Structure formats: structure tokens, C-alpha cells
Amino acid sequence: MSLKKKFIETRDNYVINQVKKAPIPKFKSFEIRRYRLIFSGRVQNVGFRLEAGEMAKRLGLTGFCENLENGSVLVEVQGQFDKIKFFVAFMRSLKRIVVKKVEKKRLPLDFTEVGFQSDKEERTFG
């Protein structure tokens, strides 16, 4: 195994363990929303999509994320509004990821979506 692959594997394991250990609050809102979020800053090549996907799955959110050519990451996320707010705050709080800006646009709900994918190409529908 190459040194680069070993580094990526180690980073990915670290990310997954960090998400598993993150304390999750109790949520009160049951209002379901969908947002398109664009995270800008140091968000590519740092495990952002993996971390976003793991946290979204843990929170029971649906959607996807993908890298954009300009260095940002696009996330479409759907679920309980309080959980989405927590998700954004969690992603902004990470030390190795530097989120300088989050653009947010509310979207219509997508009732065909199942789960959360770390790449748009992997999306699955019901």
C-alpha cells in the first residue's frame, strides 16, 4: 500500500471515529426542510465529504455532497430543521476544515431520495 493510500485510510478512520464520538443533542423540531448549502474555505482534500456524509447519516438526514470546481463543496440536505442547523454548526466547528462561508438556499422537498451519499453519482432513490 502506498504512503498516500495509507494516509487517506488513517484520515478516513479518524473522521469516522470522530463522528461516532460527537455528542448529539435532543432535537425538538419536526419540521422537514431541504437546503442547498455551499461550503467555501479549506473544504476539499480534508475529509469534508466523508465527515458530512457520516454525520448526515447519524442524524438521519438525506441528500448528497460533491466537490465543485471552484474548491467549494455543494451539499443538498433534507430532514428535521434542527438537525440541519446542528449539521451545519458541526461542520463549521471542525478544526482541520476551515469553513469561511456557507451559502444557503431553501429547496422543495424531495420525497424520492433515500439516504445520504458522499457523491452525487452514488445517489439512490426510493
Question: What is the set of active-site residues?
Answer: 49, 67
Q: Check: CB of residue 15 under 8 Å from CB of residue 72.
A: no
Beta-strand runs (E) in the chain: 32-42, 62-67, 73-80, 98-107, 113-114, 116-117, 124-125
Angle between helices 3-21 and 48-59 (to 10 degrees): 30
Q: What is the β-pairing status of strands 116-117 and 62-67?
A: parallel
Eight-state DSSP code of residue 97: S
Euclidean distance between CA atoms 60 and 79, whole angstroms: 7
